[in-house]
Amino acid sequence: MRPSRLLRLFIPLIIFFGSRIALNQSEPSQTPQQPTPPPVVSAPQPPSPVARAPKPSTEQIETEIHAQINTYRQSRGLEPLTLDYRITEESRKFSAKMASGAAEFSHDGFDERAENLEKKALKYATVGENLALLQGYDDLATTAVEGWIDSPGHHENIIGDYDLTGIGVVKNEEGVYYFTQLFLKRQ
């Protein structure tokens, strides 16, 4: 066979098989494909629990009470009260006695606390006292202040003619908070 005859024979075969190969590559596969699974969508998760802020320290509660009392007084056109460390010390001492059970939750012994203030060089014209006992509230300072404002006798002390104050907050082992706020008008 001559080469030209061979070429005539093979060229159609090459074209035929070549086109089949090319067509098979461009055509979709004849083998059945597995269905594509739907994308996995997880159920909405509840928001992660927000960590509760730790309870403020008793000193922070005292500071907040002082600020709220002064805000209230100023809203009534009254002068703010100055926080005095000696009065705060006496207030904390009595709150600690109540928290430990050494003193009852009452105004008993108020005259003694007033005398102790005089011994600390605080000569006064008048003195007053507010007490509170709280447990289980998120905002202890606001709860105490609002309770005092709603109580006529305590409210009189808050808006009274005083210029100094001291606040003592003590928490006992059971998680009960004892509050003492002393008010003083200097001579």
How confident is the model at residue 159, as a pLDDT?
98
| Percentage of the chain modeled with pLDDT above 90 | 68
Handedness of CA 70, 73, 77, 83 (dihedral sign): negative
Handedness of CA 86, 89, 95, 96 (dihedral sign): negative
How confident is the model at residue 117, as a pLDDT?
94
DSSP letter (8 states) at residue 4: H
Q: Tell me what the mean pLDDT of segment 161-180 comes to.
A: 97
Could you read off the pLDDT of 48-98 as tens digits, one per residue?
Answer: 555 566 789 999 999 999 999 999 999 999 999 999 999 999 999 999 999
N-to-C CA span, the chain: 138
How confident is the model at residue 49, as a pLDDT?
52
| Percentage of the chain modeled with pLDDT above 70 | 72
How confident is the model at residue 53, as a pLDDT?
65
